[in-house]
Structure 1
Amino acid sequence: GHTDTIVLGILLEGYNYGYGRYKRIIEKSNGLYEIKEATLYSSFRRLEKAGCINSYWGDETQGGRRKYYRISSLGKNEYELNKKDWEFAKKVIDKLI
Protein backbone atom coordinates (compact mmCIF):
# COMPACT_ATOMS: atom_id res chain seq x y z
CA GLY A 1 0.00 0.00 0.00
CA HIS A 2 0.89 3.65 -0.08
CA THR A 3 1.60 3.74 3.65
CA ASP A 4 4.51 1.33 3.28
CA THR A 5 5.92 3.37 0.40
CA ILE A 6 5.62 6.58 2.44
CA VAL A 7 7.42 4.92 5.36
CA LEU A 8 10.19 3.62 3.09
CA GLY A 9 10.58 7.08 1.57
CA ILE A 10 10.89 8.69 4.99
CA LEU A 11 13.45 6.07 6.05
CA LEU A 12 15.52 6.90 2.96
CA GLU A 13 16.27 10.19 4.73
CA GLY A 14 18.09 8.25 7.45
CA TYR A 15 17.41 5.99 10.38
CA ASN A 16 15.40 7.22 13.32
CA TYR A 17 13.09 5.97 16.02
CA GLY A 18 9.43 5.35 15.27
CA TYR A 19 7.94 8.50 16.78
CA GLY A 20 10.59 10.59 15.04
CA ARG A 21 9.44 9.17 11.70
CA TYR A 22 5.82 9.88 12.66
CA LYS A 23 6.66 13.55 13.28
CA ARG A 24 8.67 13.72 10.04
CA ILE A 25 5.72 12.49 7.95
CA ILE A 26 3.53 15.24 9.41
CA GLU A 27 6.27 17.83 8.93
CA LYS A 28 7.07 16.80 5.36
CA SER A 29 3.39 17.00 4.36
CA ASN A 30 3.04 20.41 6.05
CA GLY A 31 0.44 18.87 8.33
CA LEU A 32 -1.79 17.76 5.45
CA TYR A 33 -1.23 14.06 6.13
CA GLU A 34 -1.26 12.62 9.61
CA ILE A 35 -0.74 8.90 9.83
CA LYS A 36 -2.16 7.12 12.85
CA GLU A 37 0.58 5.76 15.09
CA ALA A 38 -1.00 2.29 15.03
CA THR A 39 -0.91 2.35 11.22
CA LEU A 40 2.73 3.45 11.25
CA TYR A 41 3.82 0.68 13.62
CA SER A 42 1.84 -1.91 11.64
CA SER A 43 3.75 -0.75 8.57
CA PHE A 44 7.06 -1.07 10.43
CA ARG A 45 6.20 -4.66 11.40
CA ARG A 46 5.10 -5.56 7.85
CA LEU A 47 8.20 -4.01 6.28
CA GLU A 48 10.53 -5.65 8.78
CA LYS A 49 8.94 -9.07 8.23
CA ALA A 50 9.41 -8.58 4.45
CA GLY A 51 13.09 -7.66 4.95
CA CYS A 52 12.60 -4.08 3.71
CA ILE A 53 13.69 -2.48 6.98
CA ASN A 54 15.77 -3.41 10.01
CA SER A 55 15.23 -2.31 13.59
CA TYR A 56 17.34 -2.15 16.70
CA TRP A 57 16.96 -0.86 20.23
CA GLY A 58 18.78 2.35 21.11
CA ASP A 59 20.95 2.63 24.18
CA GLU A 60 19.45 5.79 25.67
CA THR A 61 20.46 6.45 29.24
CA GLN A 62 17.56 8.86 29.86
CA GLY A 63 13.86 8.02 29.44
CA GLY A 64 12.39 4.98 27.74
CA ARG A 65 14.22 2.87 25.21
CA ARG A 66 13.55 3.69 21.59
CA LYS A 67 13.37 1.30 18.68
CA TYR A 68 15.21 2.64 15.65
CA TYR A 69 14.46 1.75 12.05
CA ARG A 70 16.56 1.84 8.90
CA ILE A 71 15.84 0.87 5.32
CA SER A 72 17.58 -2.17 3.81
CA SER A 73 18.80 -2.54 0.23
CA LEU A 74 15.68 -4.64 -0.46
CA GLY A 75 13.58 -1.80 0.96
CA LYS A 76 15.29 0.72 -1.32
CA ASN A 77 14.47 -1.45 -4.33
CA GLU A 78 10.88 -1.90 -3.15
CA TYR A 79 10.52 1.87 -2.71
CA GLU A 80 11.74 2.55 -6.26
CA LEU A 81 9.35 -0.05 -7.72
CA ASN A 82 6.39 1.29 -5.73
CA LYS A 83 7.25 4.86 -6.68
CA LYS A 84 7.33 3.96 -10.40
CA ASP A 85 3.96 2.19 -10.05
CA TRP A 86 2.54 5.25 -8.28
CA GLU A 87 3.87 7.64 -10.93
CA PHE A 88 2.30 5.51 -13.67
CA ALA A 89 -1.05 5.30 -11.84
CA LYS A 90 -0.99 9.06 -11.22
CA LYS A 91 -0.34 9.74 -14.91
CA VAL A 92 -3.27 7.53 -15.94
CA ILE A 93 -5.63 9.02 -13.34
CA ASP A 94 -4.63 12.57 -14.34
CA LYS A 95 -5.65 11.75 -17.92
CA LEU A 96 -8.96 10.25 -16.85
CA ILE A 97 -10.09 12.92 -14.40
Structure 2
Amino acid sequence: MSEDSAFAADLIRGHTDTIVLGVLRRGDSYGFEIYKAIREATGGDYEIKEATLYATYRRLERDGLAESYWGDETQGGRRKYYRITDAGRAVYTSNVAAWVATRRIIDSLLTPGETPRKAAEQ
Protein backbone atom coordinates (compact mmCIF):
# COMPACT_ATOMS: atom_id res chain seq x y z
CA MET A 1 0.00 0.00 0.00
CA SER A 2 1.45 3.36 -0.99
CA GLU A 3 1.52 6.39 1.30
CA ASP A 4 -1.28 7.95 -0.76
CA SER A 5 -3.61 4.99 -0.36
CA ALA A 6 -2.72 4.67 3.35
CA PHE A 7 -3.67 8.32 3.82
CA ALA A 8 -6.94 7.83 1.94
CA ALA A 9 -7.69 4.70 3.98
CA ASP A 10 -7.18 6.69 7.19
CA LEU A 11 -9.61 9.34 5.94
CA ILE A 12 -12.21 6.73 5.04
CA ARG A 13 -11.74 4.79 8.29
CA GLY A 14 -12.86 7.85 10.24
CA HIS A 15 -16.22 7.62 8.47
CA THR A 16 -16.89 3.90 8.92
CA ASP A 17 -20.00 4.45 11.06
CA THR A 18 -21.50 6.77 8.46
CA ILE A 19 -20.62 4.38 5.63
CA VAL A 20 -22.34 1.47 7.40
CA LEU A 21 -25.36 3.62 8.23
CA GLY A 22 -25.52 4.57 4.54
CA VAL A 23 -25.67 0.89 3.56
CA LEU A 24 -28.37 0.24 6.17
CA ARG A 25 -30.45 3.15 4.84
CA ARG A 26 -31.04 0.96 1.76
CA GLY A 27 -32.43 -1.86 3.89
CA ASP A 28 -31.67 -4.37 6.62
CA SER A 29 -28.51 -6.32 5.99
CA TYR A 30 -26.23 -8.88 7.63
CA GLY A 31 -22.53 -8.43 8.32
CA PHE A 32 -20.95 -9.98 5.23
CA GLU A 33 -23.59 -8.44 2.98
CA ILE A 34 -22.62 -4.99 4.32
CA TYR A 35 -18.96 -5.78 3.69
CA LYS A 36 -19.75 -6.79 0.09
CA ALA A 37 -21.88 -3.68 -0.51
CA ILE A 38 -19.01 -1.43 0.58
CA ARG A 39 -16.46 -3.31 -1.51
CA GLU A 40 -18.71 -3.28 -4.58
CA ALA A 41 -19.55 0.43 -4.19
CA THR A 42 -15.84 1.21 -4.53
CA GLY A 43 -15.23 -1.23 -7.36
CA GLY A 44 -13.02 -3.23 -5.00
CA ASP A 45 -10.74 -0.26 -4.29
CA TYR A 46 -11.61 -0.24 -0.58
CA GLU A 47 -12.49 -2.99 1.86
CA ILE A 48 -13.19 -2.57 5.54
CA LYS A 49 -11.59 -5.23 7.70
CA GLU A 50 -14.02 -7.66 9.31
CA ALA A 51 -12.84 -6.79 12.84
CA THR A 52 -13.42 -3.09 12.13
CA LEU A 53 -16.91 -3.77 10.82
CA TYR A 54 -17.96 -5.86 13.80
CA ALA A 55 -16.64 -3.22 16.20
CA THR A 56 -18.67 -0.69 14.20
CA TYR A 57 -21.84 -2.80 14.49
CA ARG A 58 -21.39 -3.06 18.26
CA ARG A 59 -20.79 0.69 18.56
CA LEU A 60 -23.81 1.57 16.40
CA GLU A 61 -26.01 -0.69 18.53
CA ARG A 62 -24.60 0.66 21.80
CA ASP A 63 -25.28 4.22 20.63
CA GLY A 64 -28.81 3.38 19.50
CA LEU A 65 -28.06 4.11 15.83
CA ALA A 66 -28.70 0.54 14.66
CA GLU A 67 -30.31 -2.56 16.08
CA SER A 68 -29.81 -6.23 15.33
CA TYR A 69 -31.97 -9.29 15.09
CA TRP A 70 -31.46 -12.91 14.10
CA GLY A 71 -32.62 -13.99 10.66
CA ASP A 72 -34.91 -16.90 10.05
CA GLU A 73 -32.77 -18.80 7.53
CA THR A 74 -33.90 -22.31 6.75
CA GLN A 75 -30.55 -23.34 5.24
CA GLY A 76 -27.07 -22.67 6.57
CA GLY A 77 -26.24 -20.76 9.71
CA ARG A 78 -28.41 -18.06 11.20
CA ARG A 79 -27.41 -14.55 10.29
CA LYS A 80 -27.46 -11.50 12.46
CA TYR A 81 -29.15 -8.65 10.60
CA TYR A 82 -28.79 -4.95 11.30
CA ARG A 83 -31.27 -2.17 10.72
CA ILE A 84 -30.87 1.57 11.03
CA THR A 85 -32.92 3.37 13.68
CA ASP A 86 -34.49 6.83 13.42
CA ALA A 87 -31.57 8.14 15.51
CA GLY A 88 -29.19 6.47 13.05
CA ARG A 89 -30.91 8.19 10.12
CA ALA A 90 -30.54 11.55 11.85
CA VAL A 91 -26.85 10.96 12.61
CA TYR A 92 -26.25 9.79 9.03
CA THR A 93 -27.85 12.95 7.62
CA SER A 94 -25.85 15.15 9.99
CA ASN A 95 -22.57 13.35 9.24
CA VAL A 96 -23.07 13.60 5.48
CA ALA A 97 -23.80 17.33 5.77
CA ALA A 98 -20.65 17.77 7.86
CA TRP A 99 -18.62 15.81 5.29
CA VAL A 100 -19.93 17.91 2.40
CA ALA A 101 -19.06 21.12 4.25
CA THR A 102 -15.62 19.78 5.18
CA ARG A 103 -14.93 18.62 1.62
CA ARG A 104 -15.88 22.08 0.30
CA ILE A 105 -13.46 23.75 2.74
CA ILE A 106 -10.62 21.32 1.97
CA ASP A 107 -11.18 21.74 -1.77
CA SER A 108 -10.98 25.53 -1.32
CA LEU A 109 -7.76 25.24 0.69
CA LEU A 110 -6.10 22.84 -1.74
CA THR A 111 -6.96 24.93 -4.77
CA PRO A 112 -6.83 28.56 -3.61
CA GLY A 113 -8.35 30.99 -6.08
CA GLU A 114 -10.28 28.26 -7.89
CA THR A 115 -13.79 27.12 -7.31
CA PRO A 116 -14.03 23.48 -6.19
CA ARG A 117 -15.88 22.63 -9.42
CA LYS A 118 -13.04 23.97 -11.60
CA ALA A 119 -10.45 22.09 -9.54
CA ALA A 120 -12.40 18.82 -9.84
CA GLU A 121 -12.54 19.18 -13.62
CA GLN A 122 -8.74 19.35 -13.95
TM-score (norm 2): 0.77
Structure 1: runs of 5+ lacking an equivalent: none
Query: What pairs up with 1:16-95 in 2 under 5 angstroms?
Result: 16-95=29-108
Deviation at 1:79, TM superposition (A): 0.1
- Inter-partner Cα distance in structure 1 for 2:25 and 2:43: 19
Q: Higher RCO, 1 or 2 (CA under 8 Å, sep at least 6)?
A: 1
Deviation of 1:64 after TM superposition, in Å, equals 1.1
Number of aligned residue pairs = 97
Deviation, structure 1 residue 36: 0.4
Q: Secondary structure at the match of 1:45?
A: helix
- In 1, the alpha carbon distance for the partners of 2:91 and 2:50 equals 22
Unaligned runs of 5+ in 2: 1-13, 111-122
Which structure 1 residue ranges, 4+ long, deviate > 4 Å from structure 2? Answer: none
C-alpha separation between the residues in 2 aligned to 1:32 and 1:77? 28
* Alpha-carbon distance in structure 2 between the residues aligned to 1:94 and 1:31: 25
1:6 partnered with 2:15: no
1:40-89 CA-partner distances (Å, limit 9, x unpaired)? 11111000000000100112121111000010000000000000111111
1:69 match: secondary structure: strand
Deviates more, 1:41-50 or 1:56-65: 56-65
Identity %: 58
